[in-house]
Structures are given as C-alpha cells and as structure tokens.
Amino acid sequence: MSLFPPGKSPSIALRANRASLFCTLAGLFCVLAFAGISDDPALAQQAPSRPIVSAARVVLSGDTTRLAFSISAPVEARAFVLADPARVIVDLPETMFAIEPPGAGGNSRGLIKSYRFGLLAAEKSRIVIDLSGPARIVRAVSEPGPDGATRLLIDLAPTDVVSFAAAASRTLVSSQPEASGKASASGKAITPGGGAPRANRPLIVIDPGHGGVDSGAHLPGRPPEKEVVFEFALALARQLESGGRYSTLLTRNEDVFVSLGERVRIARTAGAQLFLSIHADTLSETSVSGATVYTVSDRASDVHAARLAEKENLADKTAGVDMAEEASGISDILFDLTRRETRAYSHVFARTLVSIWKDAAGLNKNPQRSAGFKVLQAPDVPSVLLELGYLSSEKDAALLTTPQWREKTASAVARSVDQFFAMRGPGQGGAEGAASVSGQGGG
Ligand SMILES: [Zn+2]
C-alpha cells in the first residue's frame, strides 16, 4: 500500500530501499526498525501524520528576515537561539523535507547566513539557521497563508549582542536536561545492522558519519557526505556479515542525526571489538584525492589532520545539540593502561587497512594520520576514522558514488578486519579484551 503518489515522497522511497537492504541483512530486526514504512496497513496508518515541507524561501521585509516553508499541515514549532556561533534552532515533530537543502554559501540573505534541516531523533525534526548577526525570534509558527495553504514562518529581527547573549544563556539553562535527553534518545532507534551479536563473533560497529540535520560535506551537484558514507557502511556491513565471522551494528540506520558522544556510547555499550567511522570530506585543494585512515591522538600528526578533527568535532554544533558537554571519562591508572592498549590496537588496524587498501583503490599521499577526534575517544574499543576520499576531488567524487568502487573497497576493509582479528585472536577486544591484554603486558 502506498500512501503517497509516486514522485511525491523521495525520502520514503529512499528509506524503503534501505529497509529492504537491511532486511536481507537483519532478517527479523528489519520489521522493528522500519515499522514506520511497513506495508502493514495498521502500521502505515501512522505515516500521514508526518507533515511534508514542499518549498522554502527567504523574504526580506523592513528589518525582518523571514524564512518561510510551505508545509502540508500545521505543526508545533519550538524555537530558541544558541551562541558560538550564533544560530536559531527550530524543533518540530517529525517532518518530511521533500526539498533540496540549500547549497553551502550563496544563500546568505538578511539575517540568515545559511540553514539546514533534517531528522534529529526518532519523531523529531530540526531546522538550524546560521545567523549573520545577532537576532531575536519574532515568531516561529505555522498558519494559513493568503492562498489558504499552510506555511511555517520563522521571523527574525536584528538585536544587540548583549540581548542575544542573554537569550542564548537562558536557552542553555532551560534546555540542558532536555537537550542531553534528546541526544541519547537517538540511540533507542538503533538496531543491529546484521542481527543480534553472537557471543563467538567479534562485533564490528560501523559509524556512517553525519546524518539528518548534519549533512557533512556537501558540494552543489554532488551527493552529500552523509549519503555517500551511509551507502558505504551498508556495503561494508553486508560483506562482513556474509562471511559469517562477524556481527555488525550501525550507529545509524537511516538519515538521522546522532551526536558524537552517542556514537561512542553505542560502540561501548554493545561491546564492540572494532569501531569504524566512515567519512568523505571536502578540501579547498580540489586536486587532493585518495583515502586516509585516522586514529586518535592527543597531539595531531600534522596540520591537515588537526583541521579535519576540528571540523568533524563541530558536528554536534552543526545540529544544535552542543548545549550539554559530554561527561569526561574517569582517569586512573587502569583506565590509562586500557586506553594505551586500545590506541596501540587502533594503530595496528590503521596500518593493516592502509596496506590492504592500496591494492584496491587510491590512497592519500600521507595515508595514516592522527588527531583528537571526539568520535574515536572510546578508551576500550579500537577505533579508526576512514576518510574514503574527498568529495571536493572530481576523481574521488565520481568513484565514491559507484557500486563497483564501493564493493571493491568494502572488500578491502573486510580483508583488513580479517587480518586484524587473525593477528589479535578471536574473543580479544572490547573492554574485556583490552583489559586482559593490559594484564599480560602485551601489545
Ligand atoms: Zn565527515
């Protein structure tokens, strides 16, 4: 049963497509994970309640900047401001954005520098507006327009720096408990990418970077990073599962935002033996291409790695969930030992991956680097960040989006995982494995 006429629901089609991929992997779990798009009439009845945004425009009138969306039904909007950088956040019930996100840059008008939107967590969508100056929210409401159609209006007026800072700090106080709850709520929707972890199989957590309101790198005319890395994550999960030696878990199984801390928490809670974060960023130097494997370090290996980590660590700010800082880990001798062992294993995996990848696809000139990536901070799960290539490189962008390239490189990663566990031995890994290796003084 289709609830939307063909061509009117691209996201649903995309999700249905992905659901079928998951179904081949996960069997039983797909029923739960994609209940919202099921063909079961009883379940599908929930879908019409999701409003659809079909157009967006920025209108200037006097000193007011208006961001107006055409929306299929009235929604309750909750708007607030955040500082550093100055943003307006508008929270909505789950909404389908059947429009292209505005390209980076070139959309600056009035008080709006840029804006983005997407799924924040289960049943929650968000619009994030980057401001070009301090602004106050005049109103954020949905109401009938002159033609009778419903529109969602966000009206902004200039204000002074002090008033803006005061409004942002009020947000900080009033929103903190809810904000942290929101960030962790996304984890509830996570289901295994390849069935329940089995005791005798190492669990590999695959982390497709970005998602939902955070598109990651996005150049006009090219698919956003969040889509490229998600497709790769699916291909990799399939390959790892097909050998029957590993269980896999994805940190997100749809186009939804997941905070960096939450990604780490998912890996640790599930008892992962390896964590692979997948990215495909852009550089201003469009001639730079090839894959790079990053590990975490207190001091960056080079300026480029430091800059990338800084950019990636902003993901939570991009989605406006930076209000509550993640609690830092406990620091004692045992913790430090575990972390040192974990980092040594991360390094071994990175080296293995680089040596195997080079026979399958292009590598960056300096393919193994390190920096302070938040998403690689699990003290007890060996973690690497694989930059598949650069979407800013014409060559890479063309390759990264082809299934042939994806299958070939996913297979290289799968072989690296094989080699890593062959060296490390089965059952080693996660908190337990790292601790026992610490005890033996090995590494
Ligand atoms: Zn990225």
Candidate from 80-84, 248-252, 369-373 with smallest mean pLDDT? 80-84
Query: 214 alpha carbon to ligand 1 midpoint, in Å?
Result: 10
Query: 162 alpha carbon to ligand 1 midpoint, in Å?
Result: 34
Instruction: Give 219's pLDDT tier (boundaries 50, 70, 90).
Output: confident
CA distance 206 to 250: 5
Query: 440 alpha carbon to ligand 1 midpoint, in Å?
Result: 37
Query: 229 alpha carbon to ligand 1 midpoint, in Å?
Result: 9
Q: What is the mean pLDDT of residues 325-342?
A: 73
What angle (nearest 5°) sits at the alpha carbon of residue 122, between those of residues 184 and 155?
Answer: 100
* Average predicted confidence (pLDDT) for the chain: 79
- Tokens (6 digits) for 78: 């909750």
Centre a 10 Å sphere on the Cβ of residue 355 and count the other Cβ atoms it contains: 15
Instruction: Give 64's pLDDT tier (boundaries 50, 70, 90).
Output: very high
Residue in 157, 258, 178 with CA at minimum distance from that of residue 216: 258
Query: 132 alpha carbon to ligand 1 midpoint, in Å?
Result: 24
Query: 310 alpha carbon to ligand 1 midpoint, in Å?
Result: 11
CA distance 232 to 209: 11
Q: What is the mean pLDDT of residues 109-132?
A: 91
Instruction: Give 195's pLDDT tier (boundaries 50, 70, 90).
Output: very low
Dihedral of alpha carbons 306, 309, 313, 314, sign: positive
pLDDT digits (tens, 9 = 90+) for 285-303: 888 999 999 999 999 999 9
Residues 6+ apart with CB under 8 A from 405: 361, 399
Residue in 290, 429, 280 with CA at minimum distance from that of residue 348: 429
Q: What is the mean pLDDT of residues 421-441?
A: 51
Query: 315 alpha carbon to ligand 1 midpoint, in Å?
Result: 8
Specify the 3-state DSSP secondary structure of 117: strand
- Tokens (6 digits) for 283: 């550089």
Query: 389 alpha carbon to ligand 1 midpoint, in Å?
Result: 11
Query: 216 alpha carbon to ligand 1 midpoint, in Å?
Result: 5
Q: What pLDDT was estimated at residue 424?
A: 84
Query: 115 alpha carbon to ligand 1 midpoint, in Å?
Result: 18
Q: Where is pLDDT greater, at 419 or 440?
A: 419
Q: What pLDDT was estimated at residue 272?
A: 94
CA distance 326 to 260: 9
Domains and CATH numbers, the chain: 10-48 (no CATH), 50-182 (2.60.40.3500), 190-440 (3.40.630.40)
Strand partners, 383: 275
Query: 102 alpha carbon to ligand 1 midpoint, in Å?
Result: 18
Query: 390 alpha carbon to ligand 1 midpoint, in Å?
Result: 10
Whether residue 292 contacts residue 339, with contact meaning beta carbons closer than 8 Å, is answered with no
Q: What pLDDT was estimated at residue 325?
A: 54
Is 37 a residue whose pLDDT tops 50? no
Pairing, β 203-208 against β 87-93: unpaired
Residue in 343, 209, 331, 200 with CA at minimum distance from that of residue 281: 209
CA distance 354 to 292: 8
Query: 396 alpha carbon to ligand 1 midpoint, in Å?
Result: 15
Q: What pLDDT was estimated at residue 35?
A: 35
Rounded CA Rg of the chain: 22
Query: 410 alpha carbon to ligand 1 midpoint, in Å?
Result: 18
Instruction: Give 324's pLDDT tier (boundaries 50, 70, 90).
Output: low
φ and ψ at residue 416, rounded to 5 degrees: -65, -40
